[in-house]
Amino acid sequence: MFKEVIIFIVACLVLVKSAEYAVKSVEHIARFLRLTEFVTSFLLVAFVSAMPEGLISLISSLKGDPGIGVGTLLGGNIADLTLILGLVTLAGHPIKIHSSIIKKDLYFAILILLPIILGLNGIISRVDGIILLAAGIGFLITLLKERQYFHKPFQMKDHWIKHFIIFAISIAIMLLSAYFIVQSSHSLSIEIGIPSLIIGLILVALGTTMPEFVFSLQSVRAGHGDMAIGDILGVVVVDACIMMGMLALISPITVNVYILSIIGVFTFLAVLFALLFMRSDGMLTKNEALTMVFLYIAFVVVQILMR
């Protein structure tokens, strides 16, 4: 078991570091697309930040253990909306929210809860996967159509070819490290006797949220709060709809309805608090951030007690 723990830790560190390089490189490439800060972070950076959990999910599904992938995606979403958003605010300054996408709170909430709603019958089928993909793509198209409503055009000058090469190498390293994370997680779940879904919900999910934490923290400290919010919300939508949809298309996912219901309750609370706090006065304060961090701690405690 010690060997699996070492492999898991090293693979997670490599995954996070390669994701950081990928995020930095895609920021530079984005200037050629002339996108605004929020759209850049929501679409490009968010997709890259979501790749660690996405690759882990796809590999776990192909290896016949989708529980790790499902846990990573759903657990990662809760972590992003509570722990990551809260820590970024606590470590930086209160975040001012300008982006009009927050005003589509009902649409956003439905998207995040959609995979849980579809799985309450005990299975997320291929048809459900198509529904998730369609919903996610529809939201991204809506976002692009409303590009003129976003603030601060994204500006950055650099050699895009160099960063494209860095991006490609980073993705390859992420893929390799994701494979080892799945292998070690599967072995650990068997040896310890913990369901792979729980392993994914807590351990793997927490590790794969580090890229968006680093990017968002840097953005807030640089005075780009829209990029921080855009990245976090973008990752959540990509994980809930795009990645989960692809996972279901590869192989229908059987889920424990009881565990999924608990996840659904915390996901609902995470979405509710995040949107209420961001819309209350156009700013995410440190007190609100503390509430979100405590919500994540409660989630982890409940998952441990459920073992």
Residues 6+ apart with CB under 8 A from 221: 92
Q: What's the first-to-final CA gap in the chain, in angstroms?
A: 19
Q: What is the pLDDT of residue 294?
A: 92
Q: Is the pLDDT of residue 24 over 70?
A: yes
Q: Is the pLDDT of residue 134 over 90?
A: yes
* Contact criterion met (CB below 8 Å) for 225 and 232: no
φ/ψ (deg, to 5) at 153: -55, 140
Across residues 132-153, what is the average pLDDT?
70
- 27-31, 70-74, 138-142, 173-177: which range is least confident on average? 27-31
Domains identified in the chain and CATH numbers: 2-151+158-306 (1.20.1420.30)
Q: With CA atoms as reference, report the closest residue to 140 among 115, 164, 111, 117.
A: 111
Q: What is the pLDDT of residue 267?
A: 92
Across residues 137-157, what is the average pLDDT?
61
Which carries the bigger pLDDT value, residue 94 or residue 238? 238
Q: What is the average pLDDT score of the chain?
A: 76
* Alpha carbons 79 and 262: distance in angstroms, whole number: 15
* Alpha carbons 300 and 295: distance in angstroms, whole number: 9
Q: What is the pLDDT of residue 150?
A: 45
Contacts of 217-222 with C-beta under 8 Å, sequence gap 24+, read 217/87, 217/88, 217/91, 217/92, 219/41, 220/88, 220/89, 220/91, 220/92, 220/93, 220/95, 221/92
DSSP letters of 154-219?
----S-HHHHHHHHHHHHHHHHHHHHHHHHHHHHHHHHHT--HHHHIIIIIHHHHTHHHHHHHHHH
Q: What is the pLDDT of residue 149?
A: 46
* Contact criterion met (CB below 8 Å) for 43 and 234: yes
Q: Is the pLDDT of residue 130 over 90?
A: yes
Q: What is the pLDDT of residue 113?
A: 92
* Contact criterion met (CB below 8 Å) for 127 and 134: no
- Cα 279 to Cα 97, 98, 133, 204: the distances in Å are 8, 10, 27, 31
- Cα 306 to Cα 40, 112, 190: the distances in Å are 39, 23, 17
* Contact criterion met (CB below 8 Å) for 39 and 147: yes
Q: Is the pLDDT of residue 208 over 60?
A: yes
Of the pLDDT bands very low, low, confident and very high (cuts 50, 70, 90), residue 266 is very high
Across residues 55-83, what is the average pLDDT?
80
Q: Is the pLDDT of residue 187 over 50?
A: yes
How far does Cα 176 stand from its chain's mean position? 19
- Reported as type and span, the H/E element at residue 135 is helix 126-145
* Contact criterion met (CB below 8 Å) for 289 and 90: yes
Q: Specify the 3-state DSSP secondary structure of 13.
A: helix
* Segment of 93-107, 215-229, 236-250 carrying the highest mean pLDDT: 236-250
Q: Is the pLDDT of residue 160 over 80?
A: no
Which carries the bigger pLDDT value, residue 121 or residue 50? 121
Q: What is the pLDDT of residue 66?
A: 72
* Alpha carbons 208 and 139: distance in angstroms, whole number: 23
Which carries the bigger pLDDT value, residue 293 or residue 69? 293
203: left (phi over 0), alpha (psi -120 to 50) or beta: alpha
* Segment of 8-17, 51-60, 103-112 carrying the highest mean pLDDT: 8-17
Q: What are the residues facing 254 on neighbouring strands?
A: 123
Q: Is the pLDDT of residue 253 over 90?
A: no
The half-sphere exposure of 83 on its side-chain side, counting CA atoms within 13 A, is: 22
Place of tokens 């609902």: 268
Token pair listed for 54: 């996405």
